[in-house]
Amino acid sequence: MHVLILGGTTEARRVAELLHPAPGLRLTSSLAGRVASPRLPPGEVRVGGFGGSGGLAGWLREQRVDALIDATHPFAGTISFHAAEAAAMAHVPLLALRRPGWVPGEGDDWHDAGSLEEAARVLPMLGHRVFLTTGRMGLAVFSGLETPWFLVRSVEPPEGPCPPRMEVLLDRGPFTLDGERELLRRHRIDVVVTKDSGGTATAPKLTAAREAGLPVVVVRRPSAPEGVPVVRDPDAAAEWVRGRAQSPGVHSG
């Protein structure tokens, strides 16, 4: 049985760890290639895109894939739609692994934004020393803001246009609550901007912001394909694979 995991996330690596090694199971994890030194999961690894839904469907057929797991980042863009289209074209069962989103609690001062552009519009009204944790790819949206100072945290150096007043902090989660408290204090942060990535690896910044009484601009997740079965944790995804492996006639041939 051949399983393809569209990954690059902590959850995707965990699924691979839960399934590998297993007799009779070929496991391939696909990474987008946007990070130079990613944490590699066990099993086979391929890096780079497929060329849209048609390219992915062709790969599924050529490699005789029996099950597809979309465990990409909630903000990975169109890959989830490509996965749904490709799975339908190649007649391969698809499961989506989506970590739960964050939910505001008592004392949180969250400001909802439908996009990075909307976040950039509301930001100047909320603060002037910004902790920006939306990743290195979308900084051009904030490049026209000349007054705020930005602390940008990302795994790799930013690309493209950037805010004129900016300091870059290269770091990779998981992060600790004590570390986030110190970061906010040391840089005199007065507003936080984040995407609703969910999970626990980067959530401590939200607790630290609440304790400090800081506003947080939270960018909503983009829409996802409808009609795709969804699980919320790697154990459930691994169990789905095991169940299919034990079902007669599962292999696409």
Residues of the chain where predicted confidence (pLDDT) is lower than 50? 252-253
Q: Which pLDDT does position 55 carry in this prediction?
A: 97
Q: Tokens 């007065």 belong to which residue?
A: 190
Do residues 106 and 133 lie in contact, with contact meaning Cβ atoms separated by under 8 Å?
Answer: no
Q: Is 149 helix (H, G, I), strand (E, B) or coil?
A: strand
Close Cβ partners of 56 (under 8 Å, ≥ 6 residues apart):
50, 82, 83, 86
Q: Could you tell me where in the chain the CATH 3.40.50.720 domains are found?
A: 2-100+222-245
What tokens were used for 128? Answer: 């002037």
CA distance 80 to 22: 27
**How far apart, in Å, do the first and last CA atoms of the chain sit?**
10
What pLDDT is recorded for position 33? 74
In sequence order, which residues have a C-beta less than 8 Å from that of residue 133 and are 6 or more positions away?
A: 153, 192, 193, 194, 195, 202, 205
Domain 109-219 falls in which CATH fold? Rossmann fold (3.40.50)
d(CA 169, CA 218): 20
For the domain spanning 2-100+222-245, the CATH number is 3.40.50.720
pLDDT at residue number 248: 58
Give the pLDDT of residue 165: 97
Q: What is the pLDDT of residues 144-177, one digit of tens each?
A: 999 999 999 998 899 889 999 999 999 988 899 9
Closest CA to 59 of 71, 67, 50: 50
Beta partners for residue 150, in sequence order: 130, 166
